Structure 1
């Protein structure tokens, strides 16, 4: 089974577990930037205790390094799994947007050609 990868930026030393996700923990934004250069993480979760300047810096650099990465903030480890899954699946839901075309004109045209 292929695991999706999430990078968690948190000052806490406990490791988080998310079902079917490979979780990498880093303690600060600078290390997170280095990790993001090395691996294409699908989601980057930043703890709300990280300074606002560091969050802004990371978000700006992350958009340059990996345009597909989703950057989210979370409050504690209890909400981390739900936040990561919701952020990923809101962007990657299969067939989220369906375009329905009305081909009534084409059907009428085909029928009129076949009748003649």
Structure 2
């Protein structure tokens, strides 16, 4: 089974947990960029506490050098898993967000006329 990896950029010392995900934490954006060169990650989660300049740096470098990586922001540790899963699945399975209507009744009605 393929393990999904996420890299969390936060100043918190607690190790966050996401069900069925391998989580690595770093404190600075520079360390996160180094980790991205070393390993492949599915998602990079950035804390909202991080400086805007550093966030922009990671987003620009991430989109140019690592196009397969999804970059998301999270407000606190409790919202981390939800943000990571929503960000990953919206990029990799966009059809899940679409809803299709079943028009079998209209087809049956048209065939009966």
Partner of 1:56: 56
Greater than 2 Å deviation, 4+ residue runs: 94-97
Count of aligned residue pairs for this structure pair: 98
Tell me the alpha carbon deviations over residues 23-67 of structure 1, each in whole angstroms, 9 at most, x when there is no partner.
Answer: 000001000000011111110000000000000011111112211
Kindly name which structure, 1 or 2, has the bigger radius of gyration based on alpha carbons: 1
The whole-number CA distance in structure 2 between the counterparts of 1:29 and 1:76 is 18
Q: TM-score of the superposition, structure 1-length normalised?
A: 0.79
Q: TM-score of the superposition, structure 2-length normalised?
A: 0.81
The answer on whether the counterparts of 1:37 and 1:65 sit within 8 Å (CA) in structure 2 is no
Alignment of 1:76-91 (within 5 A): 76-91=76-91
Alignment of 1:1-116 (within 5 A): 1-93=1-93
In structure 2, stretches of 5+ residues that fail to align are 98-113
The answer on whether the counterparts of 1:36 and 1:65 sit within 8 Å (CA) in structure 2 is no
- Which range moved further: 84-93 or 46-55? 84-93
- Deviation at residue 3 of structure 1 after TM alignment: 1.4
The whole-number CA distance in structure 1 between the counterparts of 2:39 and 2:51 is 24
- Deviation at residue 94 of structure 1 after TM alignment: 7.5
What is the alpha-carbon root mean square deviation over aligned residues? 1.8
In structure 1, stretches of 5+ residues that fail to align are 98-116
